[in-house]
Amino acid sequence: MTAPGAAAEADDLIARGFIEGTPNHHPGQGTACRRFFFANAMLEFLWVENEAEARSELVRPLRLWERWAGRASGACPFGIALRPAAPGLEPPFPTFEYWPSFFPAPGRVDVRASIVEEPLRFCLPYFERPKKDGPVLTGYRIDGNSLMEIDFADAPSLRFEL
């Protein structure tokens, strides 16, 4: 979760030669994002743009408001999204079902969000892995609530300082 617009984070990636994808808004969820696509991953910088929607009954179980408002005081600002490698695979952790209004039917997301000090984890069970061009992400390192590095198989690694 970032400050609105994610200017510092996204602009840093652009300065390093990465290509930004289209931004996105999540109607009914109260969030917006800037995105960078890779061959096997996507890096999304997300922020709250509508507090009432982010705190609504439908969205409250995601704890997005708590994560965003507390990102500088202990709430984990990261989320990890998984897509199945094959149809019918279940998430590797306990989840609840979230049905975002901005997804096409049957747009269910399996979510684990209960502990705001840990990354938000979710699975997109019906989406196929998209085929994208770009560097292949091979690893990352998070230190506390800070993303410290991202490694790629075919591009220079990104290192961030606090």
Q: Is the pTM of this model over 0.85?
A: no
Instruction: Please report, for the chain, the start and end positions of each structural domain, with discontinuous segments joined by +.
Output: 7-159
Burial track 63-87 (b if 16+ CB lie within 10 A, e otherwise): bbbbbbbbbeeebbbbbeeebbeee
- Taking only the tens place, the pLDDT of each residue in 96-108 is 888 888 777 777 8
**Burial level of 113, CB count in 10 A (0-12/13-18/19+)?**
buried
Q: Cβ of 99: how many Cβ atoms within 10 Å?
A: 11
Among the ranges 25-34, 71-80, 108-117, 132-141, which has the highest mean pLDDT value?
25-34
pLDDT digits (tens, 9 = 90+) for 81-125: 777 777 777 787 888 888 888 777 777 888 888 889 988 888 877
